Amino acid sequence: MKNSQRAFFCENCGGRVRASASTCPRCGASFAGVRCPGCGYRGQEKDFLRGCPSCGYQGAPRGKPEKTLFLPRWVWTAAVCLLSAFLVLSLVLLLRRV
Ligand SMILES: [Zn+2]
Ligand SMILES: [Zn+2]
């Protein structure tokens, strides 16, 4: 099933609830607010329309994460190591020529 609307979870049964819903479609419980599964923040549905106001959580994860621009830290570490190794090597070569 593909839901374009962000999903949140019922405090009573743990079922998925739309951010705009005021009652749980699964257990029928009506709730005054929505609880963020990320940080536990409770708030009104309207507060969650743009994600959790506390931690920025935006519904259930849908497959792949969207943020892939940032490389993992080991890539940077490897790059820095290679660069410094290259610098040291060229320095050694320069010193040997002199
Ligand atoms: Zn429920
Ligand atoms: Zn949150």
Cβ-Cβ contacts under 8 Å for 48 (sequence gap 6 or more): 6, 8, 19, 34, 36
Provide the residue ranges of all domains of the chain, joining segments of one domain with +: 1-64, 67-98
- The alpha carbon of 70 and the centre of ligand 2 are apart by a number of angstroms equal to 22
- The alpha carbon of 55 and the centre of ligand 2 are apart by a number of angstroms equal to 4
Between 64 and 86, residue with greater pLDDT: 86
| Residues 19-76: tens digit of each pLDDT | 777 778 888 877 666 778 888 877 777 777 888 888 988 865 544 445 555 678 888 8
Structure tokens given for 28: 């029928």
pLDDT of residue 60: 55
Q: Give this prediction's pTM.
A: 0.30
- The alpha carbon of 96 and the centre of ligand 1 are apart by a number of angstroms equal to 75
pLDDT of residue 3: 45
- The alpha carbon of 87 and the centre of ligand 1 are apart by a number of angstroms equal to 61
Given a cut of 70, whether residue 4 has pLDDT beyond it is no
Ligand lying nearest the CA atom of residue 37: 2
